[in-house]
Amino acid sequence: MKEKHLPITNESGYYEVRLESIGGLGANLCGKMMGELGLEYLGLNSASFSSYGSEKTGTPVKAFIRFCDWKKEIRIHSPVVRPHLLGIFHEALLGNPSVLEGCQQKTQIVINSEESGEVLIKKYGISVGEIYTVPAQQIAMKTHSRINVVMLGAMARVMGFVPLDAINEICKKALGKKYPDALAGNLEGIRRGYEEVAKYPQRDDKDEIHIRRIGTEVPQWGYETAPIGGINPLYGNSVASDVSPSRQGFIPVFIPERCINCGLCDSTCPDMVFQFQKGEYKGREMMINKGLDYYHCKGCLRCVEVCPVQALVHGVEAEYPEKPWFLPNQEMLRRPENYEKTGADGYITSESYLTEKRMEGGEV
Ligand code: SF4
Ligand code: SF4
């Protein structure tokens, strides 16, 4: 294989990639494929690893990839903090400014979105990077592939040193044996991602863009100002997180007139979504189910399965832009900016999602 030279590297000699995603969209596999790509098809040395929490599906996932000259040993295994390329697998993740952490003006940012770069820049106040967009979800649905392969194709094009053939080969190797029936669709997804990724023209000073500078918000409390014995409810704490982007198109819909206030949903929900308050039911004073804090609902639908009287039913989120019985938890400390209305505005209820489930265990 012909040895390849990277067009750009950092001071340590690495070209670095970070993928920002949520569990279930395939960023982990995408990162592994990119890592292998460097070694097997590009004549480079490479390394990749992912970071995710205990519950993988629906929770934030990051994947990190490093490329360098094949003669150089990779002795650094820490997360990528200043990426040359950033892949964002779900547009709503941009609602959290930390997703863009470490990006410079020259960082290439590839976003899975049907919106144009211009719209995204205004909507999320993006002030860094070169913005590329690709409607990966839509392409995945049409080609019966997955978001991760479409993003892989798009990112390969943007990187500029990865030929389409090499991506196809790595896809055949990764998926061909395991899912031979899905291979043609995935190759088509890669091709369309490669061809349809679009760059937003460079911004100039005349652009009237609302800029939100990342990292300039002054926290009310920090380690120096927090009261002794107090907790910081913001950083690293899921209590203040809006997990709406984790939902994949479905929500539990509450029908209060059926509810018998048994509390099974509350015991089952892993995310403290249900809001019980003192009240009266059938003449008895008891805790009453008043609604759901959808900010914390990741859409697993376990509550729907346990409800004995179908007071919670399976709903398609797109049909409920204003969610009835949406009751934010009043007891939790929060700042309004934690809850920008990012929402789950992408819905993976497509054939591709069903195909994926079939492939992974025959749920459908
Ligand atoms: S499980 Fe169903 S009936 Fe029981 S409290 Fe929850 S919503 Fe009401
Ligand atoms: S779907 Fe139900 S159980 Fe799952 S997080 Fe939402 S409210 Fe909780």
Instruction: Dump the DSSP string for 143-192.
Output: HT--HHHHHHHHHHHHHSS--HHHHHHHHHHHHTTT-GGGHHHHHHHHHH
* CATH number of the domain bearing residue 314: 3.30.70.20
- Whether residues 291 and 184 share a domain: the answer is no
C-alpha distances (whole Å) from 120 to each of 89, 140, 174, 192, 232 are: 14, 21, 33, 21, 31
CA of 275 to the centre of ligand 2 (A): 12
Q: How far is 28 from 115, CA to CA, in rounded Å?
A: 25
Establish if 252 belongs to a structural domain.
yes
Q: Per the structure block, which two tokens stand in for 198?
A: 């679009």
Pocket test for ligand 2, best of 298, 304, 310, 329 (most atoms within 8 A of CB): 298
Q: Which helix (H) or strand (E) holds 250?
A: strand 250-254
CA of 85 to the centre of ligand 1 (A): 46
In tens, the pLDDT along 208-219 reads: 333 333 334 445
Q: Could you tell me the residue range of the domain that residue 354 belongs to?
A: 238-359
Establish if 225 belongs to a structural domain.
no
List the chain pLDDT tens, one digit each, 364 residues.
Answer: 556 678 889 999 999 999 998 877 888 889 999 999 988 888 899 999 988 765 556 677 889 999 999 889 898 888 999 999 999 998 888 877 788 888 988 899 999 999 898 899 988 888 888 999 999 989 998 999 989 999 999 999 999 989 999 999 988 888 888 888 888 999 999 999 999 999 987 554 444 333 333 334 445 656 676 667 765 555 555 555 677 777 777 899 999 999 999 999 999 998 889 999 999 999 999 999 999 999 888 888 999 999 999 999 999 988 898 888 998 876 664 444 444 343 333 333 333 333 344 334 443 3
- Whether residues 24 and 167 share a domain: the answer is yes
CA of 320 to the centre of ligand 1 (A): 20
Whether the CB of 298 sits within 6 Å of ligand 2: yes
Percentages helix, strand, coil for the chain, rounded to the nearest 5? 35, 20, 50
Report the pocket of ligand 1 as residue ranges, CB < 6 Å.
259-265, 289, 306-307, 309, 311-312
CA of 114 to the centre of ligand 2 (A): 27
Establish if 315 belongs to a structural domain.
yes
> Going by CA atoms, what residue is nearest to atom 8 of ligand 2?
269
- Whether residues 178 and 275 share a domain: the answer is no
Q: Pick the atom of ligand 1 nearest to 266's CA.
A: 6
Residue for token digits 């609302």? 210
pTM assigned to the model: 0.63
Total tally of structural domains belonging to the chain: 2
Using alpha carbons, select from 170, 186, 183 the residue that is nearest to residue 36.
170
Residue for token digits 């809006």? 242
Q: Residue 95: phi, psi to the nearest 5?
A: -65, -20
